[in-house]
Structure 1
Amino acid sequence: MSGNEAFMKKKKNKKKKVNLLQDYIKTVKKMNREAELASGAKRIERVVKSKKTYTRKKKHRSGEEG
């Protein structure tokens, strides 16, 4: 054995913690979401548009004509 091999330690593979309950909940939520959207329903929760967002569309301009 050389000097480097003596100091090198074998890394043990850590087993990932299995959390079946969280995986189950995540899967059920995803399936419910897809089922609701498949029937043509709109999403209840929408992203709120920032008031500070700049837009160039004419309908959003106030006080300007042209």
Structure 2
Amino acid sequence: MKSKFKITRADYLKAMRKARRDEEIREHLHPVNINRVHKSKKVYNRKRNKADLNKDLPYFFALSKLQVYSF
């Protein structure tokens, strides 16, 4: 005879977490992080400021080249 498998509380919680995670991925198309700390936009952040500056760089260089050739 086969021995019966007893579902423990840990097994139940693990299965529920996996099901909830799969549902989030299906709904949002990527894993959702719940525990991330919210970063304030008002606090100085050099990395974010430099990233914002780099977004405008190609247009900045195009304008500077036009000014150089106009001399």
TM-score normalized by structure 1? Answer: 0.36
Structure with higher helix content = 2
